[in-house]
Amino acid sequence: MLRKLILFFMFIYTSYGLSTFEIAQKVKKSSDGYESSKSVLEMILIDQSKKESKREMISISLEHKGENSQEGDKSLMEFKTPLDVKGTKFLTHEKINENNNQWLYLPALKRIKRITSESKSGSFMGSEFSYEDISSREPLKYNYSEEYEEVEFNGIKCYKYERYSKDKNSGYSKQILWVDSLRFIVLKIEFYDRKKELLKTATYNNYKKIGNTYRVGDIFMQNHQNYKSTKLNYLKDEIHLNLDESLFTKRYLKD
């Protein structure tokens, strides 16, 4: 009888050893430790007829190291090509448990536009990524399903679970995630619109590990409603740099 009880509790621990929130925390931890980074990215916009247009940008990020603070990571993207978007900059200050602060600098108008919470579900620079998608690392921004499934995706054992944005202005009613159960990296996310219909699917590919930090190689976002898609390729990616915090200010946007 005692042996049966021990086996029963071992089964419970094995099956329910992690909560979905703890899985989300481990996902963030797997990409933590980069300190600061600089990436060269290629953004490929693909329309309904499969016609492609390409953009190139530089992205820099600064990891927040402090504790007992609402401040998260900071990032800055700058478009380099083509000419019609060259010089456009996008600055994000992430918050741990609040809405992020985001600003877009438009060189043609020589002005800085603040991205309001109400507009964060809009398209980022004509892509299938929204402003909301650009920065979503913080686990506390979401509520989670109580349970997860153990499934396979492309032959990889995964935890599959749901999360729900705490932001009332989110463009999504829910997101379903497939997380590698060994590396704790996101492999796939399905995004459901406010009508609870499947809107988009993102797949994350070609991860590489630098030290203890996982870095994604490319992201493919497929829109199932307008039949457009966007691919982000990381052409070059460096971490553990010595970037100054002054680069991540509104003042720097106009420089």
Look at 180 and 96; give whichever has higher pLDDT: 180
**What's residue 9's pLDDT?**
40
State mean pLDDT over 157-166. Answer: 97
Q: What is the structure's pLDDT at 135?
A: 77
Write out pLDDT tens, residues 60-96: 999 987 665 788 999 999 999 999 999 999 999 999 8
% the chain with pLDDT above 90? 85
Average pLDDT in the chain: 92
42-to-51, 59, 232 alpha-carbon distances in Å: 16, 11, 6
The model's confidence at residue 97, banded by pLDDT at 50, 70 and 90, is confident
Ordered by where they begin, the domains of the chain are: 28-253 (2.50.20.10)
Q: Rounded to an integer, what distance in angstroms lies between the CA atom of residue 16 and that of residue 19?
A: 7
This prediction has a pTM of 0.91
Residue pLDDT, tens place only, 53-62 = 999 999 999 9
Note the pLDDT of residue 255.
76
Instruction: Judge whether residue 6 has pLDDT over 80.
Output: no
The 3-class SS string of 188-237 reads: EEEEECCCCCEEEEEEEECCEEECCEEECCEEEEEECCCCCEEEEEEEEE
* Percent of the chain clearing pLDDT 70 (strictly above): 92
